[in-house]
Structures are given as C-alpha cells and as structure tokens.
Amino acid sequence: MKKNIVIYFISAVIFIFTFFPFYWIIATSFKTPIDIYKVPPAIIPGSITFENYITAFTKNHIDVFMVNSLIVSVPSVFLSTLISVFGAYAASRLAFKGKKVFKAGLVSTQFFPMIVILIPLFMLCRILKLYNSYMALILPYIATQVPISILLLSNYFADIPREMEEAARIDGCSRMQTLMKVILPLAVPGIAATSIYSFVQVWQEYLIASSFISNQSKFTLTVGLSTFQGQHATDWGGLMATAVVIALPALFLFTSAQQYFINNLAGGVKE
Amino acid sequence: MLKAENSPKTAIKSLLYKESIFPYLLIAPGSVALLLFIAYPMITNIFMSFFDYKLVQIIKPFVFLDNYIQVLSSGRIWESLVRTITWTGFNILFMNILGLIVAIFLATGFRGNTVIKATILIPWVLPQVVTGYTWSLMLSQDIGVVNHMLQSLGIVPPNFSWFQSGGLAMTAVIIANVWRGFPFFALMIYAKLSTLPRDQVEAARIDGANIKDVFIHITVPYIQSTIKTCSLLAFIWTFNAYDILKVMTNGGPAEETLTLSLIVQREAFQYYELSRAATMSVVMFFAMFAILALLKGIMDLSARRNDR
C-alpha cells in the first residue's frame, strides 16, 4: 500500500513536470491580458477568449509566416525524400565501389555542427543572389535532410525480403523497374515516416531561417515568433497562440509515426 | 535505317541500367547535394579562416594564422568554450539522471505506464524555439508561474529573477533543455531495460544478491551501451545548441551565457566579421572533437582498468 502511494506520487510528479508546460502554452493562448499579467498567476483562466489568435492572424500576420513555412518545408521535404529514396536503395541493396565512403560520409554529417557551414552558405547565398529568398532556405534544408533520410530509409529497405526483388528480376524487370514497381510500394510506410521526420525538422528550423532571411514578409513561423516581442513588452497571448499553431502539426505528425523511427534514429547514428 | 534509329536508344538504355553504373546514378543526386552544400562550405570555412574576408571590401588578403592568433589570444573564446562545456556537461548529467529514474520507473510496469510511454516524447518534438519562449514565460520574474510557485514554497526569495546573473540564467536554460531532452533518454533506456534477461536477475537473487547488487552488477553494465549512445547524441545536440539559448537569454546577461554557437552567429550576422566568425567555428569544431576524443580515451582507460 505504502509502495503504491510512492509510485503514484512519483508518476504524478513526472506527469506534471512533463505536461505542465503544454498546459501553460494552451492556457496562455486562451487567456485575456488581465489573466496573463495577473500576480499571482491564474492557473485556471478566469475567462476564455480567442482574441490572441485573432490578433496573431490579423495584426502580426502569422498567416503570411505560415504560408512561408509551407512554401519552404513542402519542396524541401519532397525533394530530399525523393533524392534519399534512390540513395538509400543503393546504400542498402547494391554493391558498388566507394559504398563504405558514401555511408561514412552520411554518418559523419550527423556530427557536423550546422554553424560550421553557416557562414560559407551565407556567402554562397549572396553570390547566387538568394539572400532573403525561399531558395536560401530550401537548398540547405535539402542538403541537411538528405543524409539522415538516407540512413533512416536504408533501414526500411533492409527489411524488405530479397526474394521479392529476385522474383521481379527473373520476370524480366529492369533494375529501375524493380525499384519503382516492387521496392517502393513496399517501402511506403518507411518513406512516409521519413518524410514526416524531415518535415518536423524543417518546420521548426530556426538558425538558418533567422540568419538568411531579414525581410519580415519572408519570415517562417519560428522566426515570426519574435514579432511578438516588443521593445518594452512581450505579447505573450499572441506568442503562445502562434506557438500552438507551430507545435500542433509537428506533434500530430510525429506521434502518428513515432514507432517507426525512434530506434532507427539512434541505430542509424550508432553504426 | 532501322538499326540506326534503334542503336542510340539501346546504347543509352544499356548504359543506364548496366550493373556497374546503376548504383552511381542512384547516389548521384544525394552526393551532389552533400558535396555542394555540406562538403564545399566546410572546406570554404577553413579556407576563409586564413583570409581577411569583409563583405564591403573586394580584396581579401591572405593573413595565414592572424585570425587564429587574434581569436585565441582574446579571452572571449576561452570563456565561451568553458561556458559551452559547462552547459553541455550539466545538460547531459541531468538528462541521464532524470531519464534513468523515469526509465526504471516505467520498467516497474505500474498501471498507467503505457500512457506515459506513449506521450513522454512530446517535449522532444516541441520546436526548440517554442520550448525556449514557454520556459522564459514560466520563469519570468513578475508573471512566471514556476517562479511564483518556487517563491511561495520558499525555495527562492521574493522578487527572484532567473535572468539577472549568468549562473542563474544558464540554470534556467538548462532546466528548459533538460525538460526537452530527458524523455529521449528515458525511452531509450527503458527500451533496453525491457530486454534485460530475467533469469540472470533471478539467479543472482537466489544466490543472495540484494536489489542494490543486482542494479550495480547486472542492470548498469547491461544498459551502459545505451547510456553511452544517448550521451553521445545529446553531446552533439547540446554542444551545438543554438535556438533555445538564443530565445531564452540571447547570450546575456553581459555575454555570460554566450556559448560558441551563439558567438559565431553573432560575429557573422551582427558584426559581419566573417573571417573571425569562420575562425571561431573552426576552433569550435576542433574543440568538440578534442573533447569527444578525450572522453573516449578516459572511457577506454577505465574499461581496461575494470577488465584487469
């Protein structure tokens, strides 16, 4: 009995520590300014308002940031996954000279700090006249997502039985046909999970997005949060409403595909 | 005539799908992306550190080690390095402790642990920037709910502020980052714990080992590899962390939470000292690998000593 109480107490503490911040984001986003700035803070909002969401969209124009985030994320994820599907198939199924170097190169990128390539990328952007354009984000995003996507996808491809491939080859399919008609359909869940992982990464990227874009009309959502911070005061209600808008798709997508990549993620880097 | 029409096509076809070239065609797009946007910038970065690059001037003179002498002789980078190590060390320590406690707790299989297992990773997925703003709000001096709770429990004095001294500001960001990172540790360690061979534990218990002995001599060695992998990953993430520090303290107060990532970004994009920033990032890069090599050396040494 005593043991049970201890267990329930610990689980309650873990639960509160883990989830209170989420409650606070959501609660603050629905609070009136009076409740937000009340001392002591109101744990349960006195009244619920949608005003913060309305100002976020009408005054801070987070709809523009949202569209920008989508314009940047969708092509980045699509192209990096497409490139990675081919790379991963070669890396997991085909024998070729330099395969070890290729794989080692992929793994080593996971150890490189983004900051080490940030400045040359910035110079490259200026030379190619990409500064303040969506391409300034899309190209680096593709390059950073390709290695991890190939590593994740290789694991899925490795699970597809070789017999399927051999049967297709014997039936007269070319290598390309085998890949497109046999392997890819079987790997759809893995491809979906990988693109979800990439999307979550790109959607929340901040370092490149805040360094390569200075024009507010091109801000992505994460950078756009700073528009709620004024010189003297922060509009916490609007900021937290925007936080909900940023976090919801990421959380929803991630939890829907969670079991696919937790182990692969650690495994891919460990090898 | 017919032959002439067909032959180029078949030639291309056989070239495309020949065993030897096919894999290279598949990895080509990925390799190009990596070479152009990762390898080339990496090399350019080192190259830039030997020159005096300024955005406004056209001539970029070769200065060899001048940038390094300048950067390494100022105290700023060393202070920043120490801060980065402190930041990384405490993060990994507390992520491990908290992760281990939660993992062991989950492994007891109490009722409701499936709910925690399914949802615990959520903090890890919350965008770092959002995590930073949320903890800034919760820890703020006047309206911060956590700050207020700590005050009413008497843990911190009235009018307590987390963001007025360097040490406390660092602690605040560490709390936020540990909150974000420990679920990953908890889940990975739990996954390993759940495969712990039961018979080994039972045999030890029959031989008279108590829970503490079992934990130290069976459980810890068994989960050691997982802890090492998680710590390595967390080391890379934390050492290079930018978003959460930028949002919560922006390096302040008085540059006392300015880690290496922040200092490089600031030099480059606020002061436009591109060569100095590039030099600092090279230093950061080598510092990271030097620390990793040192840690690996220590671990190998202690492993050898244990074997003896």
Interface pTM, i.e. ipTM: 0.90
Residue that wins the pLDDT comparison between B1 and A70? A70
The C-alpha atoms of residue A224 and residue A66 are separated, in whole angstroms, by 9
Q: Does residue B153 sit in helix, strand or coil?
A: coil
**Residue B142 forms contact with A (CB below 8 Å):** yes
Which of A76-80, A155-159, B107-111 bottoms out in mean pLDDT, i.e. has the lowest?
Answer: B107-111
Q: What is the tens place of the pLDDT at every residue in A107-119?
A: 888 888 888 899 9
pLDDT value of residue B19: 59
The pLDDT of residue B16 is above 60:
no
Strand partners, A234: A229
- A229: phi then psi, degrees, rounded to nearest 5: -95, 110
A-interface mutation test, from B94, B125, B178, B279, most A Cβ less than 10 A away: B125
Tell me the pLDDT of chain A averaged across its residues: 88
Of B118, B120, B134, the CB nearest to A243: B134
The C-alpha atoms of residue A149 and residue A159 are separated, in whole angstroms, by 16
DSSP state of B111: T
The C-alpha atoms of residue A38 and residue A166 are separated, in whole angstroms, by 69
With cut-offs at 50, 70 and 90, classify the pLDDT of residue A219: very high
Nearest CA in chain B to A124: B41
- CA-to-CA dists, residue A249 to A60, A243, B9, angstroms: 20, 11, 47
DSSP state of A234: B
Retrieve residue A181's tokens. Answer: 């008609």
Q: At what angle do helices A188-203 and A236-270 cross, to 10 degrees?
A: 130
C-alpha A239: how far from its chain's center? 20
- CA-to-CA dists, residue A135 to A67, A72, A146, angstroms: 15, 8, 16
- What mean pLDDT do residues B12-32 have? 75
B-interface mutation test, from A65, A108, A119, most B Cβ less than 10 A away: A119
The pLDDT of residue B58 is above 80:
no
Beta carbons of B27 and A43 less than 8 Å apart: no
Q: With beta carbons under 8 A apart, name residues in chain A contacting B131.
A: 21
* Alpha-carbon torsion, ordered A258, A262, A265, A266, to 10 deg: 170
Which distant-in-sequence residues (6+ apart) come within 8 Å of B42 by Cβ? A112, A116, A117, A120
- Distance (Å) from the alpha carbon of A149 to chain B's nearest alpha carbon: 10
- What mean pLDDT do residues B1-29 have? 65
Residue that wins the pLDDT comparison between B12 and B96? B96
- Distance (Å) from the alpha carbon of B173 to chain A's nearest alpha carbon: 14
With cut-offs at 50, 70 and 90, classify the pLDDT of residue B121: confident
The C-alpha atoms of residue B242 and residue A260 are separated, in whole angstroms, by 27
**Residue B145 forms contact with A (CB below 8 Å):** yes
pLDDT value of residue B64: 83
- B152: phi then psi, degrees, rounded to nearest 5: -70, -20
pLDDT value of residue A13: 85
A-interface mutation test, from B18, B22, B38, B105, most A Cβ less than 10 A away: B38
C-alpha B191: how far from its chain's center? 21
The C-alpha atoms of residue A251 and residue A237 are separated, in whole angstroms, by 20
pLDDT value of residue B287: 94
The pLDDT of residue A198 is above 60:
yes
Rg of the Cα atoms in chain B: 26
Beta carbons of A175 and B137 less than 8 Å apart: no
Q: What is the tens place of the pLDDT at every residue in A65-121?
A: 999 999 999 999 999 999 999 999 999 888 888 899 999 999 888 888 888 899 999
pLDDT value of residue B4: 45
The C-alpha atoms of residue B138 and residue A25 are separated, in whole angstroms, by 10
The C-alpha atoms of residue A158 and residue A258 are separated, in whole angstroms, by 19
pLDDT value of residue A263: 55
